[in-house]
Amino acid sequence: METTQPEAQYQPEPTIEQPANWKRFVLDILETLILAVVLYFGINAVSARVRVDGFSMRPTLQDGEYILVNKLAYKTGEPQRGDIVVFVFPVNPQEDLIKRVIGLPGETVSVHNGVVVVSGVPLTEPYIASPPAYDGDWVVPEGQLFVLGDNRNDSRDSHQWGLLPIENVIGRAVLIYWPPEEWQVINQDVQSVAGQKSLSTK
């Protein structure tokens, strides 16, 4: 008669946490954190995110909008007419302002009868809230800019406090990114009156 031996019961081997797995997990976390820090500082080195506070740039920019600023725009180039720039306020270095570049170094700016004239050429400015109600004449020396808000009659700008040193410029506003329904690339264009040479270098 055949006899059978009872099958040996299977005893699962106890699982042991592998130290190498924990080390790899910790290394992955550290790599992720380091990458996040590098990206954070890298992005901040080339751009800034700022909130519009006030009404001096209406209708182009509205109070409460968030915009992206290119901080490298003038590292290899110069400000151009029509650029909307964020800068350190010369009168109060603790404050940053945003305005549109109108007069460049070596030019003259005149405002009379609601028209802005740069070196003898009137500008057409469809982006402004209303024509300026003030008059004045300014000469823009080297290293300076003449800037105005698009809401000409409700703006602290060069017609009040004077010229802007180029070294104070932080960067050029390029994009409205918040709120999402107002997302758009910011208009930088300034032109002369129809039939005359455009003053825009874009």
Residues 55, 151 contacting (CB under 8 angstroms) = yes
Write the DSSP assignment of 79-110 as a string of letters: --TT-EEEEE-SS-TT-EEEEEEEE-TT-EEE
What are the catalytic residues? Answer: 56, 99
Q: Which residues contact 140 (CB under 8 A, 6 or more apart)?
A: 103, 104, 105, 106, 107, 108, 109, 146, 163
* Dihedral sign computed on CA atoms, order 5, 9, 13, 14: negative
d(CA 147, CA 83): 10
